[in-house]
Amino acid sequence: MAKEVKTIGVLTSGGDAPGMNAAIRAVVRAAIHEGLKVKGIMRGYAGLLQEEIVDMDTTSVSDIMHRGGTILYTARCTEFTTAEGQELGAEICRRNGIDGIVVIGGDGSFRGAGKLAALGINTIGVPGTIDLDIACTDYTIGFDTAVNTAMEAIDKVRDTSTSHERCSIIEVMGRNAGYIALWCGFANGAEDVLLPERYDGDEQSLINRIIENRKRGKRHNIIINAEGIGHSVSMARRIEAATGIETRATILGHMQRGGTPTCKDRVYASIMGAKAAMLLAQGKSNRVVAYRNGEYKDVDIQEALAMKKDIPEDQYEIFKMLVR
């Protein structure tokens, strides 16, 4: 049943993602347009439990569109995964007159959002993660910037790798998800991608492919390794020992999470943030804003969390087909 909301909070939670600021701006401005008051909750659920809450108006979000990171800061908060933490969070919302919240984050943050919704605080999730690993949506805020940052960095490593006729293992982010790795695999014309969803640990086959490539005249070998597989440095040592080809590991790390957001991230974040505020204004709760099959939609949080996402097999097969 729709519940009237007068004041909403907005928070960012989990790993930050470029474009989160555009989403915050959109939430604040759309909510004010809908006649709601807005409060910023600092440092995700951690800041909620510490009652780090500030009033926001349209000027609080001026001049942030082009900035990476999140002006509200972000955090991970173990206490909020407990029933006591969640009840305290809901109580703090009530005490501060907050009857609705927009949570910008990933699946973990949406689990927390679902708990707040069950405790009577109207809650809407906005997908913000560089990993693209939220099943209910084809798009997550930050992926486009992160994958472009990684692509540019890998191009640079490729130059030196070619000059030295080396093999390069380049580790990209993604603990459980190989989307950044696969996209860079395509975009950088890599010789191999190691995806958490697919890699079976068969290093000998990888080594055989490197030797084969060298025999076919390839002067370098770019292997994109996802963080979830990791061990890039020791892998490089073993590959060098087995092939006799100089091999180096480069771990791109957190640079992939920073930087000025791309146009795509700013636009999708703006629309998703505004939709979230509008859903709250309509009295909706327990929904995630999603972009699917070319349309913006909203999905029940529990249904969204129950969905599974996997690397499309046809895309992985095409990647392998093009490595010749």
Query: Which residues here bind ligand F6P, judged by CB under 6 A?
Result: 15, 106, 129-131, 173-175, 227, 257
- Looking at residues 285 to 304 of the shown chain, list those that interact with ligand ADP (rule: CB under 6 A): none
> In the window 32-71, what residues touch ligand ADP (CB under 6 A)?
45
| Residue 111 site contact among ligand ADP, ligand F6P, none (CB < 5 to 8 Å, cut-off depends on kind) | ligand ADP
**What DSSP designation does 189 have?**
T
Q: Pick from ligand ADP, ligand F6P, none: which does 13 bind, CB < 5 to 8 A by kind? A: ligand ADP
125 scored as a contact of ligand ADP (CB under 6 A): no
Query: Is the CB of residue 239 less than 8 Å from the CB of residue 207?
Result: yes
10: nearest Cα among 270, 259, 276, 257: 276
Looking at 164-311, list the stretches that DSSP marks H as alpha helix, in order from N- to C-terminal side: 179-187, 203-215, 232-243, 263-281, 301-306
Q: Shortest gap between Cβ of 255 and ligand F6P (angstroms)?
A: 11
How far is it, in rounded angstroms, from Cα 239 to Cα 203? Answer: 9
Any idea what DSSP says for residue 191? S
Amino acid present at 83: A
Cβ atoms within 10 Å of 196's Cβ, excluding its own: 19
Q: Which two tokens stand for residue 239?
A: 């590959």
Specify the residue, 37 or 111, whose C-beta has the smaller distance to ligand ADP: 111
- What is the number of residues in the chain? 324
Q: Is 80 in the site for ligand ADP (CB under 6 A)?
A: yes
The secondary element (H helix, E strand) that includes residue 266 is: helix 263-281
Is 131 designated active site?
yes
Residue 148 in the binding site for ligand ADP (CB under 6 A)? no
Among positions 12, 13, 225, 285, the unique one binding ligand ADP when judged by CB under 6 A: 13
- The residues assigned a catalytic role are 131
Binding-site ranges for ligand ADP (CB under 6 A): 13-15, 45, 76-77, 80-81, 105-109, 111-112, 115, 129
